[in-house]
Each structure stands twice: as structure tokens, then as C-alpha cells.
Amino acid sequence: MPKVKTNRSAAKRLKKSGTGKLIRNKTGRRHILTSKPAKRKRHLRKKTVVAKSMERRIKTLVPYLGN
């Protein structure tokens, strides 16, 4: 069986937590930050868990993500 190529853009954006969940950064913190309140920007700093419905799709993009 040949090796499967990892999608590098997805691999850079995702990590696996200690409990095995997929972790990603929140969106909306790149530009136009002056119009966003400090509370919103503060909450966007934190990481979040990838939705269960997206996990199978991500497994095809990043097959060797700590399986």
C-alpha cells in the first residue's frame, strides 16, 4: 500500500489534544480589528475543538495526525 500524501495547509492548522480531539484556531482575527470589541478579540485568541461532523473529512486531509 503506498503512502498517502498529507495536505500541508491542513496539517499546519490542526493539532491533536491530549484526549484525542482535533484543535483549531478561531477565525476572524486577521484584519479589520479596530471595529471589533476587545472582548470579542480576546475570545478569538483561544483555540477550539473541531466539529464532529468535520473529523472524517480532516482524516482524509491529514491521515497521519497522531492516529
Please write the tens of the pLDDT for every residue from 25-35.
Answer: 999 999 999 99
Q: How far apart are CA 8 and CA 23, in angstroms?
A: 16
Residue 10 CB: number of other CB atoms within 10 A?
15
pTM: 0.85
Q: Are 55 and 3 a contacting pair, CB within 8 Å?
A: no
Among 4.10.410.60, 3.30.70.330, 2.102.10.10, 1.20.810.10, what is the CATH number of 8-61?
Answer: 4.10.410.60
Question: Any idea how long the chain is?
Answer: 67
- DSSP 8-state code for residue 18: T
Report domain extents, the chain: 8-61
**Mean predicted lDDT score pLDDT of the chain:** 95
